[in-house]
Amino acid sequence: MRYSKTQNMKDNRLARTLVALLAAGFVLMAASSAFALDGYAKRKGLFAGIGIGGGVGGVDLQEGEGQAGFEDGRLPGFHVNGMIGGGVNENIVLGTQFNWWGRTVTKGDDSWEHHHTSLLAAGDFFLINGLYLEVGGGLAYSAFDGTRGDTPVNHNEMGFALKGGAGFEYFINGTHALGFNAGYTRHFYDMATFDTFNAGISVRWY
């Protein structure tokens, strides 16, 4: 079934919004040296951070599951995350990371909402200046809510998740770091797998 014009317009608006967010992040990072106060700060001690972005994700159902509509191809969605933890030393930070990714898809008279959440043990390993690699693993939760015509269709399931990516952050003063990151996440469920490529901007307080 083809997407409606309304859904295509929604997808286009979402894509433009994500591009604008990422462009704003690049501009802020490029300009950060102009208003940096204390410059680089050590990453030892407690920290907290938040991030926003988006990316393309999709669900692959196990053969024979029969939940038509949940498996609808790779489409854009929003991604938000938060992290709290501590620095082991100047090059390694470890913590707990919360991630949420979601989107709504309309196909004819059918509507499908995908919400994927993960709670991960994650680590960032800084290589050169603010460039780092990120890995994580932990629990995943999926919520599929839809309507097939007038009939509601729902499915919720626990699973586990793995994440890998890279990023760059720059201290804009002695305690705040602005960053850009991109990565790949995969969720494993009994009935399906979910994966997404995300990119976004973040702020951390050290």
- Phi, psi (5° rounding) for residue 32? -60, -35
Least confident among 29-38, 164-173, 177-186:
29-38
pLDDT, residue 37, reads 39
Average pLDDT over residues 23-45: 52
Those residues with Cβ within 8 angstroms of residue 10's Cβ, 6 or more apart along the chain or in another chain: 104, 106
Residues in contact with 23: Cβ distance below 8 Å, sequence separation at least 6, in sequence order: none
Which has the higher per-residue pLDDT, 200 or 156?
200
Report the percent of the chain where pLDDT is more than 70. Answer: 73
Asked if residue 194 lies in contact with residue 153, where contact means CB atoms within 8 angstroms, the answer is no
Say which DSSP state 1 is in. Answer: -
Is residue 190 within 8 Å of 175, Cβ to Cβ? no
The total of other beta-carbon atoms located within 10 Å of residue 40's CB is 13
Q: What is the pLDDT of residue 70?
A: 57
Of 92-101, 104-113, 149-158, 189-198, highest mean pLDDT: 92-101
CA pair distance 91, 43, nearest whole angstrom: 7
Residue type, 138: G
Please choose, from the candidates 198, 170, 197, the residue with its C-alpha nearest in 3D space to the C-alpha of residue 52: 198
Position 67 scores a pLDDT of 52
The identity of residue 64, as a single letter, is G
Q: How confident is the model at residue 99 (pLDDT cuts 50, 70, 90)?
A: very high
Q: Which residue has the tokens 């029969």?
A: 66
Q: Which is higher by pLDDT, 107 or 183? A: 183
Structure tokens given for 145: 């809510």
| Measured CA distances, 115 to 39, 56, 94, 101, 105 (Å) | 38, 13, 26, 6, 12
Output 176 or 42, whichever has higher pLDDT. Answer: 176
Beta bridge partners of 79: 53, 101
Residue 153 has pLDDT above 50, yes or no: yes
Strand 75-87 with 92-107, pairing: antiparallel
Q: Helix (H, G, I), strand (E, B), or coil: what is residue 164?
A: strand
Structural domain of 195: 5-205
Kindly state the average pLDDT of the residues 35-50.
69
Residue 143: CATH number of its domain: 2.40.160.20
Our count of domains for the chain comes to 1
Rounded to two decimals, the pTM is 0.74
Task: State pLDDT tens for residues 118-150.
Answer: 999 999 999 988 999 999 999 999 887 777 677
Residue 30 has pLDDT above 50, yes or no: no
pLDDT at residue 74, as a whole number: 76
Helix (H) or strand (E) holding 29: helix 5-35
The answer, yes or no, to whether residue 104 has pLDDT greater than 90, is no
pLDDT at residue 181 in the model: 95
The tokens 């196909």 sit on which residue?
Answer: 107
pLDDT tops 80 at residue 41: no
Angle at 198 between CA 41 and CA 160, to 5 degrees: 95
140 touches 151 (CB < 8 A): no
